Amino acid sequence: MESPKYSLIVPAYNEEKYIEGCLQSLVSQNYPSYEIIVVNNNSTDRTEEIAKGLVDKVLFEPLKGYIHATNRGAREAHGKYISFCDADSIYPPNWLEKVNRKFEKNPEIVV
């Protein structure tokens, strides 16, 4: 199996109100080569349960803090490029395709 081009990492702490919409928007991307990794940052609500119902890779990071969650996700990522996605954001279906076009035109950029 070929590695995905993009790893979309979603650090999440008590995001049960928002994470379903976020993950639905990410799984609906029209770009074919990506993985989604949710990092549950020691949530006390239903964040992990909701995430497990939508994506295959949900990790637990007991050390609280954005940096701990993002580092854990990055260590588990298989993509050539990594994007950190906010759990309370909604991404349009063509978002990753647009990002990819920008990289292809300008490979030296960092987004």
pTM: 0.93
Could you read off the pLDDT of 32-44 as tens digits, one per residue? 999 999 999 999 9
For residues 12 and 39, the answer to whether their CB atoms sit within 8 Å is yes
Could you read off the pLDDT of 17-71 as tens digits, one per residue? 999 999 999 999 999 999 999 999 999 999 999 999 999 999 999 999 999 999 9
Annotated domain spans of the chain: 6-105
CA distance 20 to 88: 9
Query: Is residue 71 helix, strand or coil?
Result: helix
CATH of domain 6-105: 3.90.550.10
